[in-house]
Amino acid sequence: MRRLSSLLFLAGLVTLIIAIFQPLPVGTATPAVGTAINHAAPEQVGAANLVTAVVLAYRGFDTLLELTILFTAAMAAGWVLDKPRNEARPDPDAGFILLAASDLLFPLLLILGLYVILHGHLTPGGGFQGGVVLALAFFLPLLARPGRRIDHQLFSLVEGLAGAAFIGIGLAAMLNGQAFLAPLFGTGELGALFSAGSLPLLYIAVGLKVGSELAGLLAHLAETEAVG
């Protein structure tokens, strides 16, 4: 009965969404801002990946607020979760498949994460995606060997330093007489690894911050006592 009612509710929701979107001219709008950015960004910012140009150069302040939101969420989750009980016996090691896979995948995930972060201004991806890959890389060994504890203080230190570096680069632009978080060091050659000014540095800071934050949160969640 409950399932039937939830299906009915879903059908009603779909009908409502269709009714709302029917009169909207989907797909015919002229993206004025997008076209302008497409034309201006290669010369102004020098990032081959235009998404990065928008995220870090044109909307750098939004990215800072996004990091703040993530930080607040992780902090709140850390408060809500219990402290790990030291006397409780940890779970035994995982099976052979997970153990072998975690040993095999850890370096590969590490390289993939760093590649995605460092090439954020050239190819799709960037600090957020690469940071999550890094977090998963550090969490995988913990999943295979639950008895192991990670160094939370080290992760907090990396996270704090990365966040401070992001703001520091933004303040350096202000010292230079530009707006907060404006790109520094010129644009460089379009498509080269060392190009787009301070954008790669900003993305490294974002990647380290996101990675250490999420790895700490996942480890915290895994360390709390399992019920039942």
Partner 1 sequence: MDWLLLLLVSLMLGCAIAVFLLDNFLAALAAYSVVSLVLSLLFAFLRAPDVAMTEVVVGAALGSLFFALTIRRLGLGQTGDES
In the complex, minimum distance from the CB of residue 159 to partner 1, in angstroms, rounded to a whole number: 16
Which residue ranges make up the site for partner 1 (CB under 8 A)? Answer: 3, 6, 10, 49, 51, 116, 124-126, 128-129, 132-133, 135-136, 139, 214, 218, 221-222, 224-228
Query: From the centroid of its chain, how far is CA 97?
Result: 28
Rounded least distance, CB 133 to partner 1, Å: 6
In the complex with partner 1, the residue whose CB is nearer, 46 or 120, is 120
Residue 66: both structure tokens together: 């996004």
Evaluated on CA atoms 52, 54, 57, 61, the torsion sign reads: negative
Is the CB of 87 or the CB of 225 nearer to partner 1?
225
C-alpha 55/C-alpha 26 separation (Å) is 25
Q: What is the DSSP string of 137-189?
A: HHHHHHHH-TT----HHHHHHHHHHHHHHHHHHHHHHHHTTS-TT---S---S
Residue 144 beta carbon to partner 1: minimum distance, rounded to whole angstroms? 14
The least distance separating partner 1 from the CB of residue 227, rounded to whole angstroms, comes to: 4
Q: Which is nearer to partner 1, 51 or 161 (CB)?
A: 51
Tokens of 176: 């230079």
Nearer to partner 1 among residue 128 and residue 166 (C-beta):
128
